[in-house]
């Protein structure tokens, strides 16, 4: 165990999402948290109640590659919950996986999550000892369940909620779930959110306590690399590379980005090759088809590569060979692609008033109006036509100070310390005046 600001802490992460055959991309950010905490000096583990909704099984089974993922991950569809030891990086993980049906009642699912979490916790402690911090990565079900578990333990660990869910309104229906969500935010020993817009949404929902903003940690694959020189197209245009990483959806601005790409393709002085990493959200597959169609015909033919879902190492490789990231979202919590691009030293074309402005600051890129194709097109062209003024080393240095594993470990050390202080104040016996 390394020395660092988290030395002496034993932290158990309790996520709401984690990679499964049904959702292989879910929870991929937790590796960075595990590594940041471990390198900050803490002992770290993870518990995951893996509830497979029985009603969704037929749809999941029909997905391409599903059974290959089941065999590769060794995660079969057991009718009753099965406990399994795993590792993620060097951290021990306890997963409880099984089929489950809530019959439409979300609060019943939260109760089951708690029961499976308690089983995972008892097993973890028997092998690795008791933690002094439970860090839940969502108010419900993880935060509410972690608090309920903590109240049964002696000594009681600190419970800290890191909220990732956006929009926060997803945790506020039906009323029975909203009650548990707000209770978790109220009763936790400390609360943080991964972005400014998410904090604003939490406050609007009635969370009146202080909410720190601590962004997601960035994978070590994304580190400063010198900006590559602009190339030249066959017609003599300056040629640049761009990366999009995320879901192909309307909320991510794909419709206006498709139109802007077509417009940029007709410009006389610049050419951009677009690299798309991601997947189509259910019900929005037409957008992915439109991207393929755009790069196979018309003015943008041959100017894009559809990479699909890839490991972060591959995204990092393409990012190093590119000149900027584009993400015209309509709202964002802490867009992983943005902090990864900045950590590599690449400027970002993003959107203002969507939460992204908290991360893309002066010198880090340009922001346009969300949902505005004209403004998006102008912003793309402004950025590439001024590429010489973007200081990749300075961009990466600012990002390292905010998103690197040491920076995240320091931020959480302060948050966990404040949680300990608040816990002492809450449990201090009242005195008569």
169-179 per-position pLDDT tens digit: 999 999 999 99
Q: Examine the pLDDT at 216 and tell me if it is beyond 70.
A: yes
Measured distance CA(138)–CA(136) in Å, rounded:
6
Q: Are 139 and 121 in contact (CB under 8 A)?
A: no
The per-residue pLDDT for 1 is: 54
Q: What are phi and psi of 312, to 5 degrees?
A: -65, -30
Q: Is residue 406 part of a domain?
A: no
The per-residue pLDDT for 423 is: 67
Give the range of the structural domain holding residue 286, as residue numbers without chain letter: 231-398
The region of weakest confidence among 130-134, 311-315, 316-320, 382-386 is 311-315
State whether 107 and 197 are in the same domain. yes
Q: Which two tokens stand for residue 318?
A: 């393409």
Q: Examine the pLDDT at 157 and tell me if it is beyond 80.
A: yes
The per-residue pLDDT for 61 is: 84
Q: What SS3 class is residue 135?
A: strand
Q: Examine the pLDDT at 433 and tell me if it is beyond 50.
A: no
State whether 185 and 319 are in the same domain. no
Q: What is the pLDDT of residues 255-284, one digit of tens each?
A: 999 999 999 999 999 999 999 999 887 788
The per-residue pLDDT for 3 is: 84
Q: Are 28 and 245 in contact (CB under 8 A)?
A: no
Residue written as token pair 């309509």: 330
State whether 205 and 350 are in the same domain. no
State whether 174 and 252 are in the same domain. no
Tally of CB atoms within 10 A around 235? 8
N-term to C-term CA, the chain: 47
Distance of CA 154 to the CA centre of its chain: 32
Q: Is residue 426 part of a domain?
A: no
State whether 188 and 106 are in the same domain. yes
The per-residue pLDDT for 366 is: 98
Q: Examine the pLDDT at 29 and tell me if it is beyond 80.
A: no
Task: Name the DSSP class of 226.
Answer: P
Q: What is the pLDDT of residues 297-354, one digit of tens each?
A: 999 999 999 999 898 899 999 999 999 999 999 999 999 999 999 999 999 999 999 9
Higher pLDDT, 126 or 430: 126
Task: Name the DSSP class of 139.
Answer: I
Q: Is residue 419 part of a domain?
A: no
Q: Are 128 and 92 in contact (CB under 8 A)?
A: yes
Question: Which CATH number is 235's domain given?
Answer: 3.40.50.2000
Nearest to 408 by CA among 31, 16, 131: 31
Helix axes of 254-264 and 373-385: crossing angle, nearest 10 degrees: 50
State whether 85 and 126 are in the same domain. yes
> How many domains does the structure of the chain reveal?
2
């Amino acid at each position: 165990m390394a020395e660092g600001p988290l030395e002496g802490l034993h932290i158990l992460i309790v996520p709401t999402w984690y990679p499964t055959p049904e959702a292989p991309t879910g929870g991929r950010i937790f590796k960075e948290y595990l590594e940041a905490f471990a390198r900050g000096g803490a002992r770290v583990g993870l518990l995951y109640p893996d509830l497979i909704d029985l009603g969704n099984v037929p749809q999941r089974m029909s997905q391409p590659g599903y059974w290959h993922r089941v065999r590769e991950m060794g995660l079969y569809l057991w009718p009753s919950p099965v406990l399994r030891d795993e590792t993620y990086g060097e951290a021990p993980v306890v997963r409880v996986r099984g089929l489950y049906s809530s019959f439409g009642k979300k609060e019943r699912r939260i109760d089951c999550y708690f029961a499976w979490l308690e089983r995972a916790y008892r097993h973890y402690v028997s092998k690795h000892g008791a933690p002094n911090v439970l860090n839940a990565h969502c108010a419900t079900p993880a935060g509410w369940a972690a608090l309920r578990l903590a109240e049964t333990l002696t000594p009681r660990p600190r419970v800290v909620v890191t909220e990732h869910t956006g929009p926060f309104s997803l945790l506020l229906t039906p009323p029975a779930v909203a009650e548990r969500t707000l209770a978790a935010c109220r009763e936790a020993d400390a609360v943080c959110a991964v972005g400014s817009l998410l904090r604003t949404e939490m406050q609007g929902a009635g969370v009146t306590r202080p909410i720190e903003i601590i962004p997601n940690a960035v994978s070590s694959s994304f580190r400063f690399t010198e900006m590559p020189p602009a190339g030249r197209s066959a017609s003599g245009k300056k040629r640049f590379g761009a990366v999009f990483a995320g879901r192909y959806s309307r909320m991510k601005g794909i419709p206006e980005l498709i139109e802007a790409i077509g417009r940029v393709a007709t410009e006389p002085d610049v050419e951009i090759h677009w690299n798309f990493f991601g997947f189509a959200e259910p019900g929005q597959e037409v957008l992915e088809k439109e991207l393929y169609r755009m790069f196979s015909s018309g003015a943008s033919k041959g100017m894009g590569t559809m990479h699909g879902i890839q490991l972060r190492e591959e995204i990092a490789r393409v990012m190093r060979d590119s000149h900027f990231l584009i993400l015209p979202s309509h709202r964002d919590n802490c867009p992983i692609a943005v902090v990864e691009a900045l950590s590599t030293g690449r400027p970002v074309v993003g959107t203002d008033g969507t939460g992204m402005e908290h991360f893309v600051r002066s010198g880090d890129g340009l922001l346009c109006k969300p949902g505005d194709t004209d403004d998006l097109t102008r912003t793309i062209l402004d950025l590439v036509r001024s590429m010489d003024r973007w200081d990749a080393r300075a961009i990466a240095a600012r990002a390292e100070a905010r998103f690197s594993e040491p920076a995240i470990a320091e931020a959480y050390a302060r948050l966990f310390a404040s949680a300990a202080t608040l816990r002492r104040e809450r449990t201090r016996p009242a005195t008569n005046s």
